[in-house]
Structure 1
Amino acid sequence: MFFEKNSNRRKSESAPRIVKLPRHRLRYLASTLLSLHRPPPLPSLPTHPLTVVCVSDTHGTRPLIPPGDLLLHAGDLSKWGTFSEIQAQLTWLSDQPHKYKAIIAGNHDLLLDLKFKEQYPQRCKQVAQAASDDQHINYLDHPANDLDWGDIIYLQNTSVTLRFPCDRSLRIYGSPLTPQYSISAFQHPLSDDVWAGKVPGDTDIILTHGPPRGHLDGLKKSGCAFLMQEVLRVRPRLIVYGHIHVGYGIEERVYDRVGKAHEHISGQSGGWGTLICVAWGVMWGYLIPRSRRKPERRTTFVNAAVVEGWENHVVKNEAVVLQI
């Protein structure tokens, strides 16, 4: 009897435990309903679509850049954040034939974060030493003011409106901010909402270094929930980012009532009452013909990180090309 009890105890201890996270049933039902949803029709494509080329996290590499009207780089130009690395990337990007090139910094681009250099001088010295020993770069040390930007548009929590032929224009908001996880540039505490109301409502493209939570942000869902709330408010045509290398890819979402409600549940700001709204919206989509419903534009999420997850100098992914 003693051995039987011990045997049963060992079996129970070795059996895998199934851990169910809070709200898992709610999120599962919301995702199931979303898969059944018939969203409203999309607006017609512009007569003269613009080709947008997206890259991020080049870390000193120079992947093939396809032609297009607009080139976007979502940060982490460099590996160590030194002058020589960043200048080499700026020269390479400036030589590209696109009509406009817009970029932001990333958490690796220490030189461009003046506050970081003041707060962490010892960290900057350590990085400078590591960079000078790195065989992949030719190390030079100069201040950020000496950078030659060429025709590149640099955005740091700012906007720009770009005008194209055929009477087209795009408004871009760019920011390097990411939630803090280590000692690196342009980071903010996890609990700080640095996004509320920051993006102009008429923005077409949001260019950030870090992803919004739940969208191409890795298995650990490392994106920023506050950024996702801002995306829901603005509903841009396109949001481009990187930072989480393994999240590389493209997603499309239509934020009608069902899409918004599902996002609130995923972000833990919606409960069972919100789920009822999702269910009603799904049923409404089957009752009303799509031809009688108002078109809703889609938001395209792009994680354009091109380097390998752990090897910052090895190119794994291609630049993302799309039309808007």
Structure 2
Amino acid sequence: MSTFTASPSTVKTRFLIFSDTHNATPITDAFNPSFRQPQPKADVLLHCGDLTMVGKLHEYENTLNMLAGIEAGLKLVIAGNHDISLDETFFNRKGQYMHRLQEPDDTVHAQAKEIWTGDKARAAGVIYLEEGTHCFTLKNGAKLRVYASPYQPEFCDWAFPYFRNEDRYNPPHLATPGAVPIAVNPAPDFPAADIMMTHGPPMGLRDKVFPGNEHVGCEHLLRASRRCKPRLHCFGHIHEGWGAEMVRWKEGDELDTEWEKHVQESQYIEVDELKATEERVAFVDISKDSKKPLEFGKETLMINASIMTVTYRPHQAPWLVDLDLEKAA
């Protein structure tokens, strides 16, 4: 098993985390919502996908304008299953029907990508992440390494899907036993990533749907997260899964399939809902200055940051997280 020695030279870094805004913007006058203006400042803003309801260009523009108005040195964005025009293969298959177009329009995908990678996005400090590992040097002098993926198990035939028997996140020699390995950009081994940023949740962690209380996260992503052991793994997709848990991983590198073989302990993070409403965020400090600092390599903070409720009301709080990053060389 890989070992890691903490660097004496770290930088406390603040992350503001959203997911599943679905074209909503922070409101200014409503009863008891946490998602309202102004949003707090942060070193890094993370948006874990479902920027829109159905991937229309004006929806992307609206969400980009919202992100531009938030003060953060770096703003990282991935797509989600509702952002259908950012998945070229899917949009070529279903875009005409889902956008109610009279005829196919093969320019929509390029226009959608341009919104998130063009001059306006750059001016807003926004970087759109494709699947893979990305490295950044922050304005506070910290080094940030992020593994990103917009994919999730197939769900009612929306964008960025894979079948549940397909392992998208682990290389073939580490794939889930019995699964079909399809990883193109697998998650890296520990300690190569500080953050995992996926649209869908890992199996058993903030992934329960109602009614039915069924866990719908991905078992292959759970294994990848255990192998990667990031400081933070943030996601959305399952609106009713909003919340945070601190996971302590099992020791070893076994290719197990069961949840309990990966997770030693998972502790729910209590949130003072009144305070979260007043401060517009749910706040967690896992830096070395906190009462319970994160043990990098042994623990991962899991956050489902879905802003929308299960009934598509933008009333769930964003998350504000303080954690330590290594200083850049």
TM-score, length of structure 1 as denominator length: 0.68
CA contact (8 A) 2:239 2:309 kept: yes
Partner SS, residue 42 of structure 2: coil
Q: RMSD across aligned C-alpha pairs, in angstroms?
A: 3.1
* Alignment partner of 2:136 out of 154, 158, 162: 162
> Residues 170-209 of structure 1 correspond to what in structure 2 (within 5 A)?
170-197=144-171, 198-201=186-189, 202-209=192-199
Against the structure 1 CA distance between its residues 267 and 95, is the aligned structure 2 distance closer, same or farther, given a 3 Å change threshold? same
Q: Percentage identity across aligned positions? A: 29
Question: What do residues 163-190 of structure 1 show as CA deviations (whole Å, max 9, x unaligned)?
Answer: 1255421101111001002121111111
2:277 alignment counterpart: none
CA contact (8 A) 1:83 1:142 kept: no
**Aligned AA (1:267):** W
1:217 alignment counterpart: 207
Against the structure 1 CA distance between its residues 177 and 144, is the aligned structure 2 distance closer, same or farther, given a 3 Å change threshold? same
TM-score, length of structure 2 as denominator length: 0.67
Q: CA deviation at 1:159?
A: 2.4
Against the structure 1 CA distance between its residues 121 and 112, is the aligned structure 2 distance closer, same or farther, given a 3 Å change threshold? closer
Counterpart CA distance in 2 for 1:207 and 1:43 is 22
Q: CA deviation at 1:230?
A: 0.4
CA contact (8 A) 1:245 1:305 kept: yes
Unaligned 5+ segments in structure 2 are 27-35, 103-107, 172-185, 265-294, 324-329
* Alignment partner of 2:236 out of 242, 262, 265: 242
Partner SS, residue 207 of structure 1: strand
- Please identify the structure whose Cα radius of gyration is greater: 1
Q: CA deviation at 1:254?
A: 2.2
2:54 alignment counterpart: 80
Question: What do residues 263-319 of structure 1 show as CA deviations (whole Å, max 9, x unaligned)?
Answer: 957437x5xxx99xx8xxxxxxxxxxxxxxx985421100000112122xx212111
1:134 alignment counterpart: none
**Larger strand share, 1 or 2:** 2
Against the structure 1 CA distance between its residues 295 and 84, is the aligned structure 2 distance closer, same or farther, given a 3 Å change threshold? closer
Against the structure 1 CA distance between its residues 124 and 95, is the aligned structure 2 distance closer, same or farther, given a 3 Å change threshold? same
Counterpart CA distance in 2 for 1:213 and 1:199 is 16
**Aligned AA (1:97):** E
Q: CA deviation at 1:117?
A: 1.4
Question: What do residues 44-71 of structure 1 show as CA deviations (whole Å, max 9, x unaligned)?
Answer: 9975310011000001111343211000
Question: What do residues 76-130 of structure 1 show as CA deviations (whole Å, max 9, x unaligned)?
Answer: 011121000011101221232200000100000011111111122443344x69x
Matched, 1:110 2:109: no
Unaligned 5+ segments in structure 1 are 1-41, 130-139, 279-293
CA contact (8 A) 1:232 1:255 kept: yes
CA contact (8 A) 1:250 1:303 kept: yes
Counterpart CA distance in 2 for 1:124 and 1:162 is 36
Matched, 1:54 2:17: yes
Matched, 1:93 2:81: no
**Aligned AA (1:237):** R
1:267 alignment counterpart: 259
Against the structure 1 CA distance between its residues 185 and 142, is the aligned structure 2 distance closer, same or farther, given a 3 Å change threshold? same
CA contact (8 A) 1:91 1:149 kept: no
Partner SS, residue 50 of structure 1: strand
**Aligned AA (1:111):** S
1:281 alignment counterpart: none
